[in-house]
Amino acid sequence: MDLFDSNSSERASLPRNMIENSMFEEEPDVVDLAKDSTAFPTFPALDPDEVTYEPRSSRLLVRGLGENDMDDDEEDCESSARLLGMSFMNRSSAHRSNSSPYTRQAPPRSCSRPSSRTIVVCVLFLVIVASVTMVFYFLPGCTFTKAGCHKPNKTNPIEPVYPISTNGELFPWAQLRLPQSIKPLSYDLTLNPDLDKMTFTGRTVISMSILHSTNRIVFHGANLNITKATFKLGDGQASDVTILEYKPRQQLAVNFSEELKAGQYCVLTMEYSANFSNAYDGFYKSFYIDKDRNKRYPLVLAATQFEPLSARKAFPCFDEPAFKATFLIKISRKKTYMTLSNMPKAKSTNLSNGLVQDEFEKTSVNMSTYLVAFIVADFTPNTKNVSETQVSVYSVPEKNGHTEYALTITSKLLEFYNNFFDINYPLKKLDLVAIPDFLAGAMENLGLITFRETTLLVGKESSLLEKQVVASVIAHELAHQWFGNLVTMTWWNDLWLNEGFATYMEYMSLQEVSPDLETGNLFLSVRFRALDKDALNSSHAVSTDVNTTEQVEEMFDSVSYEKGASILLMLNASFPGDQQFRKGIIEYLKQFSGLNTDTDDLWNSLTQEIVNERGKSKTDGCQSAACTDKSTHHMNVSQMMTSWTSQKGFPLVTVNLMGNQVTLAQEHFLLTSDNTTHTLWHIPVTYVNDSCSLAPECRQVFTLKNKSDTFKLSENVTWLKLNYKNTGFYIVDYGKDGWSALAQALFSNVGVLTHEDRASLIHNIFALSRYQSLLIAFSDETDTETSPVTEALLQLNNIYRQLEKRQESNLNFIMSTFRNLTAKQTWEEEENVSKQELRSALLEMACNLNDENCTQQATSLFKKYMESNGTLRIPGDLQQTVFTVAGRSDETWDALFNIYVHATYDSEKRKMLKGLASTQNPQRLVQILSFGLRGSLIQTQELPLVISTMCQSFAGCLFAWDFIQENWDRLIEKFPIGSFAIQAIIKSVTSQSSTQAQLNKVQAFFSGLKERGSQMRSVQEALETIKLNQRWMDRNLPTLQKWL
Ligand SMILES: [Zn+2]
């Protein structure tokens, strides 16, 4: 999946302790055994995969029996005992826990001369004692201790507490992850969508193999109304079965009175009905206007988005990535629609009800459920054959002219990947579909990749920057056809194996396939943003525990994507040869083709490649670079990379140069410096020096594994620059002398370092917040290259936005730093991508800061554009600046809104929408937000963009914050808790706050949400970021005021 908006987010990312606290809160639907005696004695037998112990359920058991009913029983016992003149019950819990529950209830000795009343009391007493004995018999000894039962008892596994199904029966499974006793082999899906009634019916036939003997089948299903279910074991007769449902975990189950034996095969057939999803996941409906053919009524289409947890909303299935199977899909439609699915169409049959049923070929490879996809729509294709594959780009008919670029770049990329991975794309067809209403950037479903229109369609007049977006997203999704679809992570904790790789390959492939797009700069800034986010204490390890559905959603973040990609780049850059990394991943893909893996599998494959290469070098007589580079010669990929994937954060490397002696030290770089950790990384530290600093041959490597280490250079140098081209995932502090030597060197010749190295110095110095010396170099305009300037602009803009939210916006210092460079920018067409990037960044900044020259130019360009009635073109990279200026002016806002409503080209529309959302007019702000929430005139998928734009200004952000608080429940209906869209919204509205009052408001709102979102990691990130901003401002505001 491509996250789109959250990828391109420009601000420093924001924070996880609350998760641990709230994770063990009571789950309301779990049965209280003490109150439901019928539920108590009927636990089914344990499966081999069930011996794990779930603390949450047992804790409930303690509460149910120990605190309420047990106390009542005790009171009854005691009053009975008092009547008998006895005091048998010691209420000390310590006494209970250290004596055996079997021997503690000795029968009372003194009922020797009973009156009738005493007999009644005695009988009552005995009954009570018997009940208590029973309770103690069934409960573990630790139940009444304050600490409860924490450790599983290996000899007597504690039985889990099963929840209650919707029909009142006991649901036979109590965990998030499904049992491993049944393996699905194939699915036969028939879907009958009714686009008029917005409902669908379905029939799912699942063939399964029984791996371990068991009494039940547990799988997933959400919001499906199952009308009939039959089960067939081996060659036996099919018979009706009852499907149990446990809604909170979206699980379904069938209980069997007789055990299903390991080695048998079985078939479960279910018929069901459901509504189309109203959100952007599952099988959802979507509307669009086709201007060519239907001006008045919106047309409808139905499409799927299953990753990560929504295949279960369209059909009952084993919805975890490790349950791979084959799929045969049939969909019925009206004759005016067409259908698409993962595989090529096999046949179409006319049905008696006037509909047509399309049947697709059975998938030729095993596939995870999240990769299944189907679409019912009225789309037209643009097709081309590439090698053995028919590539088609689909869009709504009126936009078919915008598909050519995607078709061309996909063809090139497909050939590149077929060759690079040395494994051909496995299907005969590859469809790329632009869906008018789609939340993510794109989704890599096998053979049927779905996109937003913005990330697939390119108008004839689009700028290279727009092509860069489209090419990057296509490159990312195509890479998934190998990384993710062919070889898939076993569980969502290793999502980075999908996303880190696809992100890395997206930049890598385009540098080869389309160097004119200059994606190197984009990747560099993506790495800076990943560092910013990972510097928070609330960050998480690349490979991290995932135990709730919200945590699954939260894995789709900058750590999985961008940090994942960054550490792969670092690894590749530390390999001595340029082919070893590639050979290692080819081995990995071939070895695990069609299977699931975890992170260690990848590192083992790459380590093996190093070992093989070393073996070869020995027989070659050692001519290759691998033999000469001692540090990498002995590189153990597993050891090195585990330090990067199993620990959160990254190191700060400090360097001290004395003549030719270099001392390096590492520490965990945390923005909250009060958190000291003893984490160490295996860092392949690269460096260049004053005598050789630009060419790749200048680069040398030293692997720092310890807290500190020293090595000698062959000659004395005046300065060192570490982290050559910023390919390593760490930041560097050169010390006072080191920084001034570098500043001096740059001052006399800015070209002494590569532009990546200059940008890396700027990023690092801001991260270290000791930036004065380098800013002086900038005010003298010694640097005019894109990546250093845009990084400096972004960092300064960040500070400016915080100052503005403190009403300190008179500190208009950015303009003075870049005034001359800005004045040099033209307003004509510009061909070169990096010049477009530089120009758009500078002019956007200048106009946002109300630079008169800039706003005048933009206003006049917008007027000409309006007067030309759509014939004049605004250069693509300047459109955002022009539309923003137009949107901020009360005079032109309505005109812009009118153009927006009638515009069809999505990428341009988004720029107009950002312009509209830049207004300071309260009524218009409210109008935009309510349009977005309703999905009228502004699609709901654009709300995260609208909110992030509004939050660029003080007034806008206040409205956005009110809106989010008032409409939180409606927002989480559309965007699941923890999802990237919600992460982006929280980040937008909080990341520029820096005062105690703002912190209090944010904290109060989110903590009040409870299970509706307070446990999200992004809430922790938000709080941590505001505290950091606050601290930074308190420390630096006086200096800034003086200095600026
Ligand atoms: Zn992806």
Residue with tokens 């028919």: 390
Reference 324, options 518, 184, 433; nearest CA is 184
Q: Say whether the peptide bond before residue 28 is cis (omega within 30 degrees of 0).
A: no
Element of type H or E holding 640: helix 637-645
Other Cβ atoms closer than 10 A to 928: 29
Cα dihedral 22, 26, 28, 29 sign: positive
- 103 CB burial (10 A radius; 0-12, 13-18, 19+): exposed
Q: How far apart are CA 479 and CA 565, in angstroms?
A: 13
In angstroms, what is the span from residue 440 Cα to ligand 1's centroid? 10
Strands 448-452, 442-443: pairing is: antiparallel
pLDDT the model gives residue 1044: 58
Rg (CA), the chain: 32
- Residues in the chain, pLDDT under 70: 5-159, 291-296, 615-635, 673-676, 770-782, 809-812, 1042-1044
Tally helices (H) and strands (E) across the chain.
34, 29
In angstroms, what is the span from residue 416 Cα to ligand 1's centroid? 18
How wide is the angle at C-alpha 547 spanned by C-alphas 542 and 553, nearest 5°?
A: 65
β-bridge mates for residue 230, sequence order: 240, 269
Contact by Cβ (8 Å): 342, 358: no
Report helix, strand or coil for 541.
coil
DSSP string, 828-889: S----HHHHHHHHHHHHHHHHTT-HHHHHHHHHHHHHHHHTTT-S---TTTHHHHHHHHHHS
pLDDT the model gives residue 234: 94
In Å, how far from its chain's centre is CA 716? 47
pLDDT the model gives residue 36: 34
Protein residues with C-beta less than 5 angstroms from the ion ligand 1: 1, 499, 502
Helix boundaries (H) for 24-107: 55-61, 70-83, 93-98
Looking at residue 257, the DSSP 8-state letter turns out to be E
Q: How far apart are CA 233 and CA 340, in angstroms?
A: 33
Other Cβ atoms closer than 10 A to 140: 18
Contact by Cβ (8 Å): 559, 1021: no
Report helix, strand or coil for 819.
helix
Do the annotations mark residue 476 as ligand-binding?
A: yes
Do the annotations mark residue 678 as ligand-binding?
A: no
Residue with tokens 């007034």: 955
Contact by Cβ (8 Å): 763, 725: no
pLDDT the model gives residue 228: 97
Looking at residue 63, the DSSP 8-state letter turns out to be I
Do the annotations mark residue 499 as ligand-binding?
A: yes
Q: Give 882-913 pLDDT, tens digit per residue.
A: 999 999 999 999 999 999 998 888 888 999 99
In angstroms, what is the span from residue 388 Cα to ligand 1's centroid? 24
Q: Give 111-139 pLDDT, tens digit per residue.
A: 344 455 544 444 444 444 444 444 333 33
Mention every residue, 6+ apart, whose C-beta is less than 8 A from residue 397: 290, 292, 293, 378, 379, 380
Q: How far apart are CA 854 and CA 821, in angstroms?
A: 13
In angstroms, what is the span from residue 180 Cα to ligand 1's centroid? 27
pLDDT the model gives residue 39: 32
In angstroms, what is the span from residue 443 Cα to ligand 1's centroid? 7
Sheet with 683-689, side-by-side order of all strands = 700-704, 683-689, 720-722
For 476, phi and psi rounded to 5 degrees? Answer: -65, -50
Q: How far apart are CA 49 and CA 63, in angstroms?
A: 27
CA atoms within 13 A on the CB side of 867: 6
Other Cβ atoms closer than 10 A to 95: 12
In angstroms, what is the span from residue 1006 Cα to ligand 1's centroid? 29
pLDDT the model gives residue 114: 44
Reference 521, options 715, 726, 265; nearest CA is 726
Q: How far apart are CA 769 and CA 1044, in angstroms?
A: 16
Residue with tokens 């869209």: 981
Q: How far apart are CA 167 and CA 316, in angstroms?
A: 18
In angstroms, what is the span from residue 571 Cα to ligand 1's centroid? 20
Q: State the distance between the two ends of the chain, measured CA to CA, in whole angstroms.
A: 43
- 452 CB burial (10 A radius; 0-12, 13-18, 19+): buried
Q: What contacts 24+ positions apart, CB below 8 Å, involve 736-741?
A: 737/657, 738/655, 738/656, 738/657, 739/765, 739/770, 739/773, 739/774, 740/773
Q: How far apart are CA 508 and CA 728, in angstroms?
A: 16
Q: Residue 210 is which amino acid?
A: I
In angstroms, what is the span from residue 564 Cα to ligand 1's centroid? 12
Q: How far apart are CA 600 and CA 645, in angstroms?
A: 10
Going from the C-alpha of 746 to that of each of 355, 749, 766, 771, 783, the distances in angstroms are 71, 5, 17, 14, 9
In angstroms, what is the span from residue 411 Cα to ligand 1's centroid? 19
Mention every residue, 6+ apart, whose C-beta is less than 8 A from residue 894: none
DSSP string, 113-162: S--HHHHHHHHHHHHHHHHHHHHHHHS-GGGGSTT---S--SSSPPPPPP
Report helix, strand or coil for 991.
coil
In angstroms, what is the span from residue 701 Cα to ligand 1's centroid? 31
For 743, phi and psi rounded to 5 degrees? Answer: -60, -40
Mention every residue, 6+ apart, whose C-beta is less than 8 A from residue 903: 909, 912
Q: State the catalytic residues.
A: 477
